[in-house]
């Protein structure tokens, strides 16, 4: 379960400098066989990059693949030129080329990185990794474990079989047959029964939703995409749509020498996604032979978050839908057009907008909606700030559902992407752009 860790090559304590090489490596993914994977620095997932709030991060990206790639820093508030989107923030990094990413890691939270070229394929082949920004002022909240959830299409022969699902597979969103944690199939962690743990969880799968359950245990969710929430929420299960993160406290308990499974439970994201899908053991917690520790209260966590002032906010409505005609190649889009024909939205630096994301009645799938570069605050059905207050960058929109959020565009101009983070959906058109600049035009997506 131990993650590889990126090495800081810079002696300056205010700078973390490292290298990411995208290339190929033969790794054991399906137990007992090896597979040629696409990797960062030869590992699956890519190395954990761990910085501190307000530290400068410099990453030298080297592309040793056979096709172009980039690195998108999912959730990080950074300059547009560092966002990793070809044609809008940087040119694609071609094979044999390199690119220098440099920005400040302002917000303490768990983020992740992945390509924004041929995204569904490159992520499925192994290009993803965690980025954790620490808060030096935060007290100890338990033994910490970063959990990178993903899946893989590798079978018992060690290869990914040809994809014969065609447009139906793209529409449903392709899921791998192997569920992985930190690049491993059904790994184990060792724990002292009764000792507090803090799990920092990210779902990097291209399509799969992760609903986690642990018999006899409950979770305390203290944070998510943008760090700590206003106050914690207790739950029997934790649900993460693709690209979402969760910051969770848990006290594993069991008899000395026993173990308990953390299970994947099918989540209803539409189109029969829970039919005939039994629970799967994701990973195991094995208890040491030491006696169980006596119970103690979970530490209190809180964060002061001010609700965005939405008085006079501009309204934006986006409808997620299929736009291709019957018998035509699949195209998804927003407000009736795919990304290739969409007109960017407009926003001014300093402007607050309210976005309404509608899942079209003809779409039988939930969609995790992601906005690049900016955090937003979810709103409830009455248009009020959803409690507990938190900062998000990815929000699940259920089948026939509608979600609203408030976003303030700060002083970072540029053209920023938004899209469904089922990467198959993004690749066939369910994405768009918002131009944050001095001039502000009509608020629409045409």
Residue 163 belongs to some domain of the structure: yes
**Strand bridging mode 197-203 / 143-152:** parallel
* pLDDT at res. 328: 85
Claim to verify: residue 150 and residue 281 sit in the same structural domain: yes
Biggest CA-to-CA distance, the chain? 66
Residue 443 belongs to some domain of the structure: no
Claim to verify: residue 279 and residue 181 sit in the same structural domain: yes
Claim to verify: residue 333 and residue 371 sit in the same structural domain: yes
Residue 417 belongs to some domain of the structure: yes
Residue 401 belongs to some domain of the structure: yes
Task: State how far the Cα of 20 lies from the Cα of 33, in Å rounded to an integer.
Answer: 26
Task: State how far the Cα of 235 lies from the Cα of 213, in Å rounded to an integer.
Answer: 10
* pLDDT at res. 438: 62
**Which residue in 44, 45, 37, 30 sits closest to 155, CA to CA?**
30
Looking at 102, 134, 166, the residue that finishes a domain is: 134
Residue 265 belongs to some domain of the structure: yes
**Domain of residue 43, residue span:** 15-134
Claim to verify: residue 262 and residue 180 sit in the same structural domain: yes
Those residues of the chain that have pLDDT short of 50 are: 439-446
* pLDDT at res. 170: 79
Claim to verify: residue 261 and residue 235 sit in the same structural domain: yes
Claim to verify: residue 239 and residue 374 sit in the same structural domain: no
Which residues contact residue 97 at a Cβ distance below 8 angstroms, ignoring those fewer than 6 apart? 63
Task: State how far the Cα of 159 lies from the Cα of 30, in Å rounded to an integer.
Answer: 9
Claim to verify: residue 156 and residue 249 sit in the same structural domain: yes
Claim to verify: residue 234 and residue 111 sit in the same structural domain: no
Task: State how far the Cα of 409 lies from the Cα of 117, in Å rounded to an integer.
Answer: 25
Length of the chain, in residues:
446
Claim to verify: residue 280 and residue 188 sit in the same structural domain: yes
* pLDDT at res. 156: 87
Which residues contact residue 88 at a Cβ distance below 8 angstroms, ignoring those fewer than 6 apart? 80, 414, 415, 416, 417, 433
Claim to verify: residue 272 and residue 158 sit in the same structural domain: yes
Does the predicted TM-score (pTM) go above 0.85? yes
Contact 160, 256 (CB under 8 A): no
Q: Where on the phi/psi map is residue 311: left (φ > 0), alpha (ψ -120 to 50), or beta?
A: beta
pLDDT, tens digit (0-9, with 9 covering 90-100), for 63-82: 999 999 999 999 999 999 99
Looking at 82, 116, 134, the residue that finishes a domain is: 134
* pLDDT at res. 162: 65
Residue 307 belongs to some domain of the structure: no
Q: How many domains does the chain have?
A: 3
Domain CATH code at residue 96: 2.60.40.420
Claim to verify: residue 282 and residue 330 sit in the same structural domain: no
């Amino acid at each position: 379960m131990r993650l590889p860790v990126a090495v800081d090559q810079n002696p300056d304590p205010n700078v973390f400098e490292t290298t990411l090489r995208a290339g190929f490596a033969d790794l054991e993914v399906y137990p007992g066989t090896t597979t040629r994977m696409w990797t960062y620095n030869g590992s699956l997932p890519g190395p954990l990059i761990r910085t501190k709030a307000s530290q400068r991060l410099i990453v030298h990206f080297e592309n040793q693949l056979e096709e172009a790639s980039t690195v998108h820093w999912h959730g990080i508030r950074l300059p547009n030129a560092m966002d990793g989107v070809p044609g809008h923030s940087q040119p694609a990094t071609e094979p044999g080329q390199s690119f220098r990413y440099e920005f400040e890691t302002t917000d303490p939270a768990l983020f992740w990185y992945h390509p924004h070229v041929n995204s569904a394929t490159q992520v499925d082949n192994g290009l993803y990794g965690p980025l954790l920004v620490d808060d030096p002022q935060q007290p100890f909240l338990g033994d910490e474990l970063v959990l990178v959830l993903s899946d893989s299409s590798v079978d018992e022969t060690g290869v990914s079989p040809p994809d014969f699902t065609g447009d139906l597979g793209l529409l449903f969103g392709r899921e791998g047959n192997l569920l992985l944690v930190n690049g491993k199939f059904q790994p184990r962690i060792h724990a002292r029964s009764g000792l507090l743990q803090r799990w920092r969880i990210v779902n990097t799968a291209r399509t799969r939703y992760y609903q986690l359950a642990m018999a006899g245990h409950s979770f305390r969710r203290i944070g998510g995409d943008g760090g700590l929430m206003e106050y914690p929420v207790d739950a029997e299960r934790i649900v993460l749509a693709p690209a979402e993160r969760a910051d969770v406290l848990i006290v594993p308990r069991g008899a000395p020498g026993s173990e308990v499974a953390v299970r994947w439970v099918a989540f209803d994201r539409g189109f029969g996604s829970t039919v005939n899908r039994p629970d799967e053991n994701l990973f195991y917690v094995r208890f040491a032979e030491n006696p169980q520790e006596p119970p103690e209260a979970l530490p209190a966590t809180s964060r002061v978050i001010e609700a965005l002032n939405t008085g006079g906010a501009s309204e934006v409505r986006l409808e997620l839908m299929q736009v291709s005609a019957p018998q035509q190649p699949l195209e998804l889009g927003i407000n009736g057009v795919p990304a290739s024909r969409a007109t960017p939205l407009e926003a001014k630096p300093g402007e607050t907008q309210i976005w309404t994301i509608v899942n079209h009645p003809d779409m039988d799938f939930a969609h995790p909606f992601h906005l690049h570069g900016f955090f937003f605050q979810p709103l409830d059905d009455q248009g009020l700030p959803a409690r507990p207050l938190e900062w998000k960058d990815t929000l699940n929109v259920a089948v026939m559902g509608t979600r609203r959020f408030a976003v303030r565009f700060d002083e970072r101009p540029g053209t920023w992407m938004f899209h469904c983070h089922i990467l198959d959906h993004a690749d066939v058109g369910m994405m768009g752009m918002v131009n944050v600049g001095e001039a502000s035009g009509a608020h629409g997506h045409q």
